[in-house]
Amino acid sequence: MHNYDTVSEATNDLRKRGFSVDFNLEENCIICNADRFHPEDFEIVEFYRFEGQTDPADEAVVYAIEAKNGLKGVLVNGYGISANAMSSELIKKLNFHS
């Protein structure tokens, strides 16, 4: 694992290392373009947690994700009050790594 000072530093380096797509959260899966990945369809390869020094809204986790179909990308999600709503299965998988 690497050490990063900022979310942008982490995402930029992950992209250079082949995690080139952007994943987004939906309630029960992560998505990339038209592709949907349920918790059993992807693995979290690396993760980095960032805590806001003065603003709790700045808290985030950056996930490096590889889907079973070989697609590699980045998911950035807030935590605490900034967390997105999602299914319990997805929460378990992401929280294990946060």
**Structural domains of the chain, count:** 1
Evaluate whether 79 touches 57 at the Cβ level (below 8 Å): no
Within a domain: 17: yes
Question: Can you give the residue range of the structural domain that contains 54?
Answer: 7-96
Model's pTM, two decimal places? 0.81
Within a domain: 1: no
Place of tokens 């807030």: 78
Q: What is the mean pLDDT of residues 1-26?
A: 92
Within a domain: 45: yes
Within a domain: 2: no
Give 24's contacts (C-beta < 8 A, 6+ positions apart): 30, 31, 32, 75
- Between 97 and 25, residue with greater pLDDT: 25
Q: Residue 57's pLDDT is what? A: 55
DSSP letters spanning 69-98: TS-EEEEEEE-GGGPPP--HHHHHHHHHT-
pLDDT digits (tens, 9 = 90+) for 61-70: 899 999 999 9
pLDDT digits (tens, 9 = 90+) for 68-96: 999 999 999 876 544 555 556 676 777 66
Q: In 3-state terms, what secondary structure has residue 65?
A: strand
